[in-house]
Each structure stands twice: as C-alpha cells, then as structure tokens.
C-alpha cells in the first residue's frame, strides 16, 4: 500500500484507441490501493504527475496498525468513502456539465482539498498540471481547455498559470460549477 507524501499522482486508463482518461488525482495524504492484494489485477494505472515522495506500508504492518488503532482504521475507511463521493461527483460532471462548468467544478474540488491539507496560500494554490493532463481528466481537448480557462479568467473567476491557480472569486466559481461542497465536507467529520 502506498501513500503520497509530496507531489501529485493520478489514476488513469488508456483506451484501445490511445485516448487517456484520468479518473482521480492523488494529493499529499491520499492513499492508493489499500486493497490491491484482494484483487486479481489492477484495472488501471497509477502515475506520478510531478516528482513525488511516496511512503510504502506493507500489508501486514497496515493490518496490525488498524487492529491496534481503531481510530486509524475508521479514518482510512472514511477517507475511502470521500474518494467514492469524489468519483460520483466526477461522473455527474462528465455526464451533465458543460465544459466550463466541468473545469470550474474540478478547480473547486482541488482547491478545497488543497485547503483541507494546508496547501493553499490565501486564494492561491499550486496546481502542477499541464493543460493536457487537465483535459484527460475532464474528457476534453487541451485546445478547448485553454479556451475555457481564458473565459474563466475574463469572467474574473479564476486564473491558472505557471503551475498555480489564483481563485479570484470563489463564489462566482462555485456558482458557475454548480458546486455542492457537501460531498467533500465529510472530510471534516
């Protein structure tokens, strides 16, 4: 089992036609594959998006740790539930949101997650993802992502550049995204 300590990673899958779809972003504190051992085969890949520092915990140690500290077990379980909520939110985004809403929604999610782990500075946070990576996460084209980002910048909602995002007007961004932070707030309970 792995835990990201620094840097970013993602879960992804490559389709027969060569297209890539990213299914999740892993930020510091996120764990991958509590469970690989239970399953036959990974159905997707995991990849670092920046240079990253990753901790490895053996299956046995993890088992022992969770038995000795029920609170840790509960926390891991609850983190997994949040991850599921995030996946459901992604499905909603891809299915029923326009491209600008999708981009705004993803930035809202990442901003709140970053804030939750103390990685924001005021209304800014590091987002070391190329537009191509964002496109593969949102099911769109890098070209079109670029146009959408321009529109969001002109609207005064947010501005992405040089590996970091500035949230100019969070309320507006949330309103554009139709963002319901309920599914992430769980993290706080």
Does 92 contact its own copies by CB under 8 A? yes
Token pair of 99 as six digits:
């491209």
Does 171 contact its own copies by CB under 8 A? no
Q: Is the separation of the CB atoms in 81 and 186 below 8 Å?
A: yes
Binding site for DNA (CB under 7 A): 98-100, 130-132, 139-144, 146-147, 149-150, 161-162
Options 55, 87, 117, 142; binder of its own copies; rule CB under 8 A: 87
Residues near its own copies (CB under 8 A), total: 44
Place of tokens 């509590």: 34
Distance, in Å, from the CA atom of 92 to the CA atom of 2, rounded to the nearest integer, reads 28
Options 77, 143, 150, 161; binder of its own copies; rule CB under 8 A: 77
Among residues 44 and 153, whose Cβ is nearest to its own copies? 44
H/E stretch holding 114: helix 99-116
From the list 1-9, 60-68, 131-139, 142-150, the region that binds its own copies by CB under 8 A is 131-139
Which entry of its own copies, DNA, none binds 94, CB below 5 to 8 A by partner kind?
Answer: its own copies
Options 7, 31, 32, 44; binder of its own copies; rule CB under 8 A: 44
Options 69, 96, 147, 150; binder of its own copies; rule CB under 8 A: 96
Buried residues in 41-65 as b, exposed as e (16+ CB within 10 A): eeeeebeebeeeeeeeeeeeebeee
Does 183 contact its own copies by CB under 8 A? yes
Options 4, 26, 89, 104; binder of its own copies; rule CB under 8 A: 89
Sheet order of strands, 2-6 included: 31-32, 2-6, 53-56
Query: Which regions of the chain does DSSP assign to beta strands (E)?
Result: 2-6, 9-14, 20-26, 31-32, 45-48, 53-56, 120-121, 124-126, 158-161, 164-167
């Amino acid at each position: 089992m792995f835990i990201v300590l620094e840097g970013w990673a993602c879960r992804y899958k490559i389709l027969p036609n060569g297209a890539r779809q990213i299914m999740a972003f892993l930020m510091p504190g996120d764990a991958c594959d509590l469970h690989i051992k239970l399953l036959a085969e990974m159905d997707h890949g995991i990849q670092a998006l920046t240079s990253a520092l990753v901790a490895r915990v053996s299956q046995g140690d993890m088992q022992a740790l969770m038995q000795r500290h029920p609170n840790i077990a509960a926390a891991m379980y609850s983190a997994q539930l949040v991850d599921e909520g995030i996946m459901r939110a992604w499905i909603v985004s891809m299915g029923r949101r326009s491209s600008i809403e999708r981009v705004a929604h993803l930035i809202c999610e990442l901003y709140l997650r970053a804030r939750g782990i103390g990685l924001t500075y005021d209304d800014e946070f590091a987002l070391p993802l190329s537009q191509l990576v964002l496109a593969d996460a949102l099911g769109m084209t890098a070209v079109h992502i670029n146009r959408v980002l321009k529109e969001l910048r002109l609207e005064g909602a947010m501005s992405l550049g040089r590996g970091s995002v500035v949230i100019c007007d969070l309320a507006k961004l949330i309103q554009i995204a139709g963002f319901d932070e309920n599914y992430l707030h769980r993290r706080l309970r």
